[in-house]
Structures are given as C-alpha cells and as structure tokens.
Amino acid sequence: MAICITFGLEEFTSQLQGYENVVAYCYNCHNWNAHCVTRWPWFTVCFIPVIPLSFHKYREVTCYTCRATQDLRDRPDITPATRPPQFPPYMIPGHGLPPGSVPPQPPQPAYAYGGLPPPTGPPPKYT
C-alpha cells in the first residue's frame, strides 16, 4: 500500500491594510506601479498550510510591472497618502495641447561611460 503525501511552501499575499490605494514609484523599473502588500510564507502538507515560516507577515512594496520587492521599512517615502504625481493634461491620452503651446521634448538618452556619448572610430587594438 502506497500513500502519496505532498509537501511544499506557499506564500499568502494581500494588500497592506491602510495602504490599499497607495501607488508608489519603483526604483527598479522606474514606473509608478508599486503597491504595498503583506507576505506570509507557510509550510504545507497536501496543500494545507500547517506551519508558518515566520513569526509575522512581511510588509513589502512590490512592483506589479517588474515584480521587484523591497521592505516597507526601507522606503520612508511611502505613506498611506502616497500617490503618483499629477501629469499635465497634454500628457494624458485623449487630451490635446493647450492653444499656442509647444509640445515637450522627449528626454535625451542616458549614455554609459558617466554621461558621455559612446566613443566613435575604430575599436582599440590589443596586442
């Protein structure tokens, strides 16, 4: 007679209470798509949570775009009132520019090598 028992780990996540409407800036992908969540890992037997693997829930900021996480204690810029900046109407899809205004210029590309443009000419020869 054989009995199959499945062991595993499961992380339960939920929105952090009091921070449900907070949208924060992600330092990894530079998008305003990070949200405050709680995470609690458990050891499971046959998909039933049996033993918690931490004494408390982890409070983290998780980006929904790149899935990067950061402890909420390391982000003093995030409060329950944190919201993304309000963009001018011409940056919102469906709205035009105000009459007589000039559209904003796109940002210039950031170069490697400390902000300098890439080197030109033939590559150096190593002997």
What tokens appear for 111 in the block?
Answer: 């170069």
What is 75-93 written as a DSSP string? Answer: -TT--TT--PPPPPGGGST
Query: Tens-of-pLDDT digits for all 127 residues of the chain?
Result: 788 889 999 999 999 999 988 888 888 988 888 999 999 999 999 999 999 999 999 999 999 999 999 999 999 888 888 777 766 555 555 455 556 666 666 666 655 555 666 667 777 777 6
Taken as a whole, the chain contains a residue count of 127
The pLDDT of residue 68 is 92
pLDDT reported for residue 94: 47
* pLDDT for res 39: 93
Show Cβ contacts of residue 43 under 8 Å, excluding neighbours closer than 6 positions.
Answer: 7, 8, 9, 49, 50, 51, 52, 53
Which pLDDT does position 123 carry in this prediction?
Answer: 74
Domains of the chain, residue spans: 7-85
Note the pLDDT of residue 13: 92
